[in-house]
Structures are given as C-alpha cells and as structure tokens.
C-alpha cells in the first residue's frame, strides 16, 4: 500500500547515494565552479586566434579536453543534488548557479569549434593522423561543418545555452515541486497519492477499484497543469525548430537525428513496424490480463497490473544483490566488482522521499564512478529496473576507462542496448533456475510487462506521438494542450484497438515523460532492446565468446556508429530482420503466458 513520502531529511543515510566522491562539500563545489570560470577565461586568452596549424590544433584540443574533464564533476554534482530533492532551496540555487556559469564558459569556449572548422581540411586530417586520440572528434566535427554558423553567432547561441535548457527545468519544477496530490477516497477510506506512489504502486495495484480511482485522481491533478505544461513543451519545440532552420537542416528530424548517426529510415522503421506488427500481440496480452483479473472491460488504467498479483515476490535492497550478482555473473569478475562497489560505496540512491525525481536513471560522470537513482518499493520487478541502470553503469564504467571524454559516449540510438541487455540476462537467469509454473509465469510476465511493455510499448507509443508532434512543428505550426491530448489519444487508440478502452485521463500521459525534452529519445529504447534481445539470444546459445564480444562493444564507447557497434555484437540493424525477430519473440512469450495460465488454472480446479 502506498504511504505518504517523508522529506529527504528523514530518510536513512544508507538508502542515499554519497556525492562526496564528487565534492566533499557545497563549498568545494562552489570553489571548483569559480575556479573553472577563471580557467576558461585564461584558456580563451591563450588560444583564441592561435589555431593556425596541425601542432596548434593538437595543442588546443589537449587543453580543451582537460578543461571539459573538470566541468564533468561540477555539472554532475549540481544535477544529482537537485534530482533527489527538487524542493531543496540550496540545491535549486546550486543548479541555477551552475547553469549560469556553464553558459558563460560555453560561450568563451565556442571559438574552439569555429576556429577548427575554419582550418583547411588537410590540417585537421593531419592532426587526426598525428594524434589518434582526437581522430573521432575531428571526424565528427568535419561532418558538422555544413551546419556551423558564423563564430559570433555560435558564441551568442552558447551564451544562451542555459535559457535553451529552461523548458526542461520548468517542466520538472511544475511536476516535482508545484504539483501536490491530495489523498483519494474509496469506500470511506483515504489513501495517499504522489507521483512516485502512483507510478511505483497504484498503477500496479491489484484491487481494480483502488487502481482506477487512483488513476482518475492522478489524471485530474495532471489536468490542472496541462496548459502550463503544454506551453512549456511548445517553447522547447519552437527552439528546436528555429535551431534546425538556422543551421540549414532540411527538416527538424534531420537535425535531431544528426548526432545519433542514423538516417531517418531506421527511425521510421522502429515506429512503423512495431506499431503495425506488435499491436496484435499486445492486444492478446491485454485480453489475458482482463481474463486473469475477471474484468468486465479492460481500460488504460489496468494495463500495468501484474498477471498474477498473488504471486508478486517482495524483495529488500540486500536481497536484490544476490539476484543481480547471479544474473550478471556471466559478464565476468571485473563487471561484478563494479556491481559490488555500487552497493558498498553508496553509488545508488534507493530512498523514497518528497521532491525526488520519478523513474530511474544512471549518471556516469567521466573520471568518476556512476550514480544510480531509483525509488525502491520492495517489489521484485525493481530487480529488473536496477539491472537496467547497472547496464548503463557497466557500459560507461568500461567505456570511460578505455576512451577519452570525446570518445566515450556512443550515439543515443545505441544507449539503451547495454541497459536492456541486463534485463534480458536477469530474465534468462531466473527462467533457467526454476521449473515452478507460477514462478516461470511471473518471470515471463515481468519480461513482457516491464522490459518489453516499458521499452517496446510505452516508449514506442511516445515515439509515435512525438513524430506526429514534430510533423506539425516542421510544418510551421505550434501545439497546445488540446492538440497534444488529441494526438496522444489517437496514438493509443490506434495501437490498442478495441482490446483496451482509452479512458479519460489516458490522453494526458504525454505530461508524464521528461524524454520529450531530450530530442528523439523515446524510440531509441526499442532500438536498444532490439539489439540486446538479439545479443542475449546469442549469449544463451554461444556462451562466453558472445559475452567477450559484447564487453568489447562496451569498451568501444562512441568511436563507432550504432550500425558498426551492433555489427561488432553480431547484429545487423541496417535490415528489418532483428526487429521482426524481436517482435516475433515477444509474441512467443505472450503465447507461453497464455499456455502457462491455462495450465495453472487447470491445476487449481
């Protein structure tokens, strides 16, 4: 049962992460930020106007890299401190100060890109030959040349960088600070409601009346803020459109996909094929949930309920360790040492408290260990969530050690492959270690309901909605709450057909997702899971050789394109085959759930 959340000051310290490895105190953070601002000014003084030959290209990039490395812990500290408590005035002020100073630094440093691109291409190619460390960076820079603006324009745009990130900050403030949920009532009894408790508990509540009433109460509160949130989102969209036009991209999609290093055909394929071919499988799953729960009708508010709520193992943080270690053991000793340290050195923030960001994420600052945010509810499915975030951690734990800061981060298209890979490893491990039909059904339904539903359905439907929104923006139009609600409802109705009633409030789901402020991010979850499904099947079949190849992929970081990284792991994403195979695999899992449910019901008679 959901409880009211305590303030951050009252949660046990062992449930929180330790940011002292970034900075020992707020004073140390402030000192480092002030010092870096001075260093940026000295850097500009020394190098601006002096990039004239191969030697000076290498010299400026060496100094630039060192400066950017110092920025990493500062930005991480500011964002992580705020993410655990958005109501904390001190954290708000630190994040604000960082944002303002970072914009000034960015403006001072903007000359680097401008002056490098003013050099003859031969000079840059000579620098690439002489210093392999900067080869990938310079190659990507040359690719950007057609979209580079006049140096003074670039400097001005950089100075406004904190303003450009303002819509995302405003979205989070509306959601986590201003939006206060009242208790809701069922049969004379009152129940507490919050963003975290709704998404962590009430959405999966077995009692249909409680679940649906919580959904209505939650949706009603969202509705009060729909116009402000829509206006905030429209600001973000118009800025992206203006930037796309200024930089000479043909469409806003070309602009947003540019850094992902994939073309529009790969983007469209994920959305079109899944919408068309996965929908029948998921409708069958919805019908199975309806039958299992004896529901007269299946509504949108019922989609997150467990197939068998009576069999929902509970788990403590300590107990999760054994499952994680056993499941990820195949990744080797070095990987497991990272997992062990993440628990013992408090890299993970497990606490539930007011003002904490919803969902879960992993931050992997270069030169430092990763940090994971999660709100631990004690449900067994949290093991999948934690394994997912540890997948991100393991990725950058490896990439950051092997690559420099310029080369460590791969395309957004690939970013969710290592995380979803770990979910598959957990599922495979659990399935191999039990013959109990109920446990087996729980594991498979967890894969379908958490791993695939979340990444292949929730995020994919976000992507389908997002594409329609960007089509409008590309045509020179804007959006408001009414438009966004209509688009979201249409996408949900198209996917679920007559299997699920899209109840009032479902159309407001667009308000819950911060990913819309991160470019074309939602579709990359299904892209990453397509890759990880194929690789996990290889690992089951081939064992250690497939694991070794995967570890090499993690170490490669961003030195290759998504297609090249996938190929290293034995998956060809330039064809439809991996995606079609993954959709078929989800269909097989759902068919297996139907069979297992019939068997269990037969025994129970």
pLDDT-based confidence at residue 433 (cuts at 50, 70, 90): confident
Phi, psi of 306 (to 5 degrees): -70, 150
Angle at 359 between CA 358 and CA 362, to 5 degrees: 115
**pLDDT tens per residue across span 286-303:** 999 999 999 999 999 999
**Whole-Å CA distances, 392 to 21, 93, 288, 416, 497:** 19, 29, 33, 8, 35
The mean pLDDT value for 153-158 works out to: 91
**pLDDT tens per residue across span 329-379:** 999 999 999 999 999 999 999 999 988 988 899 999 999 999 999 999 888
Residue 165 has pLDDT above 60, yes or no: yes
| Residue 314: DSSP 8-state | B
The pLDDT value given to residue 5:
84
Q: Which fold has domain 8-164?
A: Butyryl-CoA Dehydrogenase, subunit A; domain 3 (1.20.140)
* Residue pointed to by tokens 């040349």: 145
The pLDDT value given to residue 134:
96
Closest CA to 410 of 568, 255, 201, 198: 568
The mean pLDDT value for 134-156 works out to: 94
Written in H, E and C, the secondary structure of 407-434 is CCCCCCCCCCHHHHHHHHHHHHHHHHCC
Closest CA to 161 of 114, 247, 103, 241: 103
Residue 91 has pLDDT above 80, yes or no: yes
Closest CA to 380 of 438, 458, 336: 438
Rounded-to-5 percentages of helix, strand, coil across the chain: 70, 5, 25
The pLDDT value given to residue 360:
92
| Residue 600: DSSP 8-state | H
Alpha carbon distance 79, 524 (integer Å): 23
**pLDDT tens per residue across span 225-234:** 999 999 999 9
**pLDDT tens per residue across span 437-457:** 888 898 899 889 888 888 889
Task: Please list the residues that pair with 185 across neighbouring strands.
Answer: 190
**pLDDT tens per residue across span 256-265:** 999 999 989 9
Phi, psi of 298 (to 5 degrees): -100, 120
pLDDT, the chain, mean: 93
Handedness of CA 76, 526, 292, 301 (dihedral sign): positive
**Whole-Å CA distances, 284 to 272, 277, 355, 417, 593:** 19, 12, 38, 27, 10
Residue ranges of the domains in the chain? 8-164
The pLDDT value given to residue 413:
92
The mean pLDDT value for 219-230 works out to: 97
Task: Please list the residues that pair with 186 across neighbouring strands.
Answer: 189
**pLDDT tens per residue across span 188-217:** 999 999 988 898 889 989 999 999 999 999
Angle at 207 between CA 305 and CA 448, to 5 degrees: 10
pLDDT-based confidence at residue 3 (cuts at 50, 70, 90): low
The pLDDT value given to residue 96:
92
CA atoms within 13 A on the CB side of 291: 12
Contacts 24+ apart (CB under 8 A), 335-341: 335/394, 335/551, 338/390, 338/393, 338/394, 338/397, 339/390, 339/394, 341/369
The pLDDT value given to residue 52:
92
The mean pLDDT value for 497-508 works out to: 97
Interacting residues of 554 by C-beta distance below 8 A, sequence separation 6+: 394, 395, 398, 399, 418
Closest CA to 128 of 406, 517, 455: 406
Q: Which of 89-98, 462-471, 510-519, 595-604 is predicted most confidently?
A: 462-471
Closest CA to 440 of 450, 448, 430: 430
pLDDT-based confidence at residue 566 (cuts at 50, 70, 90): very high
Residue 125 has pLDDT above 70, yes or no: yes
CA atoms within 13 A on the CB side of 571: 32
**Whole-Å CA distances, 232 to 140, 166, 172, 293, 520:** 32, 9, 10, 39, 17
The residue length of the chain stands at: 605
Closest CA to 527 of 497, 559, 571: 571
The pLDDT value given to residue 481:
98
Write the DSSP assignment of 52-108 as a string of letters.
-SHHHHHHHHHHHHHHHHHHHHHHHHHHHHHHT-TT-HHHHHHHHHHHHHHHHHHHH
The mean pLDDT value for 281-285 works out to: 96
Query: Residue 497 CA to chain centroid, in angstroms?
Result: 28
**Whole-Å CA distances, 50 to 53, 106, 111, 385:** 9, 19, 11, 49
Beta strands in 432-589 (DSSP E): none
Write the DSSP assignment of 515-533 as a string of letters.
GGGSSS-HHHHHHHHHHHH
Interacting residues of 462 by C-beta distance below 8 A, sequence separation 6+: 510, 513, 515, 516, 522
Residue 1 has pLDDT above 60, yes or no: no
Alpha carbon distance 527, 67 (integer Å): 34
**pLDDT tens per residue across span 72-87:** 999 999 999 999 998 8
Closest CA to 597 of 431, 428, 430, 442: 442
Alpha carbon distance 11, 594 (integer Å): 42
pLDDT-based confidence at residue 381 (cuts at 50, 70, 90): confident
* Residue pointed to by tokens 């990507």: 140
Helix (H), strand (E) at residue 373: strand 371-373
What does pTM read for this prediction?
0.87
């Amino acid at each position: 049962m959901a409880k009211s959340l305590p303030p951050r000051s009252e949660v046990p310290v062992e449930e929180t992460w330790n940011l002292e490895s970034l900075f020992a105190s707020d004073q140390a953070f402030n000192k480092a930020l002030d010092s870096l601002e001075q260093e940026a000014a000295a850097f500009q003084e020394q190098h601006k106007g002096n990039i004239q030959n191969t030697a000076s290209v290498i010299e400026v990039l060496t100094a630039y890299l060192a400066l950017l490395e110092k920025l990493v812990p500062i930005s991480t500290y500011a964002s992580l401190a705020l993410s655990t408590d958005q109501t904390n005035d001190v954290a708000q002020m630190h994040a604000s100060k960082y944002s303002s100073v970072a914009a000034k630094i960015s403006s001072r440093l903007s000359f680097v890109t401008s002056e490098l691109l003013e050099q003859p291409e031969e000079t840059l190619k000579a620098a690439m030959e002489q210093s392999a460390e900067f080869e990938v960076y310079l190659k990507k820079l040359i690719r950007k040349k057609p979209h580079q603006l006049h140096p003074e324009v670039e400097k001005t745009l950089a100075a406004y960088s904190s303003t450009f990130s303002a819509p995302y900050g405003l979205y989070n403030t509306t959601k986590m600070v201003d939006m206060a949920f009242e208790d809701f009532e069922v049969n004379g009894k009152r129940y507490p409601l919050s963003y975290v408790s709704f998404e962590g508990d009430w959405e999966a509540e077995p009692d249909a009346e409680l679940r649906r009433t919580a959904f209505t109460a939650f949706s009603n509160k969202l509705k009060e803020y729909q116009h402000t949130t829509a206006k905030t989102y429209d600001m973000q969209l118009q800025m992206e459109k203006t930037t796309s036009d200024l930089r000479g991209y043909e469409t806003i999609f070309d602009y947003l996909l540019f850094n992902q290093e994939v073309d529009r055909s790969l983007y469209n394929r994920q959305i079109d094929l899944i919408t068309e071919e996965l929908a029948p499988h998921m409708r069958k799953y919805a019908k199975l949930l309806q039958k299992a729960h004896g529901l007269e009708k299946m509504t949108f508010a019922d989609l997150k309920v467990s197939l068998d709520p009576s069999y929902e193992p509970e788990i403590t943080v300590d107990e999760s360790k054994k499952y994680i270690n056993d499941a990820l053991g195949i990744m080797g000793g070095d990987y497991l040492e990272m997992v062990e340290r993440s628990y013992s050195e408090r890299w993970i923030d497990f606490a539930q408290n007011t003002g904490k960001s919803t969902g879960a994420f992993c931050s992997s600052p270069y030169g430092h260990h990763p940090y994971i945010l999660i709100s631990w509810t004690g449900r067994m499915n949290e093991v999948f969530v934690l394994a997912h975030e540890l997948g991100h951690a393991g990725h950058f734990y490896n990439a950051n050690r092997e690559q420099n800061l310029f080369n460590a981060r791969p395309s957004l298209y690939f970013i969710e492959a290592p995380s979803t890979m770990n979910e598959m490893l957990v599922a495979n491990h659990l399935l191999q270690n039990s013959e109990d039909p109920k446990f087996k059904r729980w594991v498979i339904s967890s894969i379908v309901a958490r791993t695939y539903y979340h990444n292949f359905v929730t995020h994919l439907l976000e992507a389908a909605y997002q594409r329609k929104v960007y089509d409008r923006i590309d045509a020179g139009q804007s959006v408001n709450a009414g438009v966004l609600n209509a688009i979201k409802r249409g996408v949900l109705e198209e996917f679920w057909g007559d299997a699920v009633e899209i109840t009032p409030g479902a159309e407001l789901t667009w308000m819950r997702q911060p990913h819309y402020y991160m470019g074309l991010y939602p579709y990359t979850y299904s892209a990453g899971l397509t890759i990880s499904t194929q690789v996990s099947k290889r690992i089951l079949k081939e064992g250690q050789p497939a694991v070794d190849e995967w570890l090499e992929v993690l170490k490669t970081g961003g030195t290759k394109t998504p297609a090249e990284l996938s190929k290293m792991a034995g998956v060809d994403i330039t064809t439809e085959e991996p995606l079609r195979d993954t959709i078929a695999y989800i269909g097989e899992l759902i068919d297996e759930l139907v069979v297992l449910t019939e068997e269990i019901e037969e025994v129970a008679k």
